[in-house]
Structure 1
Amino acid sequence: MISLAVFDMAGTTIDDGGAVYHALQDAVCETGATVAPADLQTWMGTEKRAAITALMTLGGRDPRPAGVVDAAFDRFREILAERYAATPPAPIPGVPEAIAALRASGIRVALTTGFSRDVASGILAELNWSVDSRGAARADESGAMAGVILDALVCGDEVAAGRPAPYMIHRAMERTGTLAVSKVLVAGDTAVDVQAGANSGAAHSIGVLTGELQRTDFPAEHTTAVLDSVAQIPAYLAAAELDAAAAYASAASATSLL
């Protein structure tokens, strides 16, 4: 039985129109580096300073001089803010309902992201999504219920290394009181999302097709399943539980015949 679902943000639960992709590309190109599309996709989903450092190196620009990466990171944030102001991010259709369904069934939901805490918190605030480790939906001042409620948020600047390292997932377990990684499901729209899930030991490491990747782009050795969207995860888990129950019944029946 899954007790914690860990989802990526941009491209997985939130539609940002590719703003992160373009902001990262533009910020690195401004340093004089050349950014190959394949390299950009490889580093999507990782902690952004690490991504900038790698992309500068790959693109022929030395990232070692003091302040160069920090300046590029600041430009990334500026460009991203401009793009979000022009086209605000929005929940991917069906995802708020899926998160609510998971939490109603007793499964805690955490978001992980390569963003820094200030950027991630700002995005969630714009969406009226909030983190409440007590697990209770809250009403705002008008009495209306708050938007999406999450159990935890873990950001790339809060761990020793970002994806594909498993540390954000393990930190989400810590913050939600989840003891067994065998009860964790991870989902994301990039290869490093599913690699991090596999590296964490999660029971399910799922790729979703709401980002830039196609079904065959997810590494088979790290991917439990590929779904169209996080919106399908409640149904996926229900089917998995039915399959497990059927397998258990079959094994019990076979044992009784011995």
Structure 2
Amino acid sequence: MIELAVFDMAGTTVDEHGDVYTALESSVRETGVEVSPAHLQEWMGVDKTEAIAALIELGGGVATPELVAHTFDRFREILAAAYDANPPVALPGVEDALRELKSRGIKVALTTGFSADVAGPLLQGLGWGIGDDELLDAVVTSDQVAAGRPAPYLIHRAMERTGVHDVRRVLCAGDTAVDLLAGVNAGVVAVGVLTGKLGRDEMARNPHSYILDGVKDVPALAEMQSA
């Protein structure tokens, strides 16, 4: 039986209108390097400072600590402005799905490549709280673990915070390749959802347990897992 469902944020549970993608691209381009769509997609879902450093290097630049820190600050500024202009919203069916999971006694956690200072206001704007009577049981951000995806630590920290011990009783879902790789590395049920930029064929090229149209379909899968 699934005891914990762990979900990515942007593109998986939250429709932020592609602003993370745009903010990451714009901030890295400001350093004077080119950013290819393929490289940008490859580094989506990863800790944003790691992604920025990698994209600068892939574009032919030198990712000094000072440049990465400045670019990350610019990423946050661009993203905050975009969110102010066009606030993120829950993807269709997500809130109902999370409530359904919690009603069955399944813990619900979010993990993200955002730092806490980016994720906190986003969740506050959505009205998503943490606690027994709230939508979520835990949130883990990339600055709270030793390494972000595809390392398994975000998922394992979510297990720690929710008191779940058996990786076989954990499901994770995300819209990027690194979400799936993190799930595989964590030893959990790894689910790809098609609410991001990857189509079914692209998602299926990565190791996975299941591919679903969206988080709205996870309760049916959790029921199947419980049988």
TM-score, scaled relative to structure 1: 0.86
SS of corresponding position for 2:164: coil
Counterpart code for 1:194: L
Q: Which residue of 2 aligns with 1:177?
A: 163
Q: Which residue of 2 aligns with 1:88?
A: 87
> 1:239 Cα shift?
3.0
Q: Does 1:212 align with 2:197?
A: yes
CA distance in 1, matches of 2:204, 2:52: 23
1:31-60 Cα shifts (integer Å, max 9, x gaps): 011101000000000000000000000001
SS of corresponding position for 1:131: coil
> 1:220 Cα shift?
4.3
Number of positions where the alignment pairs a residue of Structure 1 with one of Structure 2: 227
Of 138, 150, 153, 1:167 maps to 153
CA distance in 1, matches of 2:118, 2:138: 15
The equivalences for 1:1-258 within 5 A come to 1-64=1-64, 66-132=65-131, 135-137=132-134, 149-202=135-188, 204-220=189-205, 222-242=207-227
1:127-168 Cα shifts (integer Å, max 9, x gaps): 111111xx124xxxxxxxxxxx20000001111110000000
CA distance in 2, matches of 1:117, 1:49: 13
Whether the 8 Å contact between 2:2 and 2:226 is mirrored in structure 1 is no
CA distance in 1, matches of 2:205, 2:61: 33
Whether the 8 Å contact between 1:24 and 1:76 is mirrored in structure 2 is yes
TM-score, scaled relative to structure 2: 0.98
1:48-87 Cα shifts (integer Å, max 9, x gaps): 00000000000011012x4110000000000001111111
Q: Which runs of 5+ in 2 are unaligned?
A: none
Structure with larger RCO (C-alpha < 8 A, sep 6+): 2
- Computing the radius of gyration from Cα coordinates, the structure with the larger value is 1
SS of corresponding position for 1:136: coil
Identity of aligned residues (%): 54
CA distance in 1, matches of 2:5, 2:165: 13
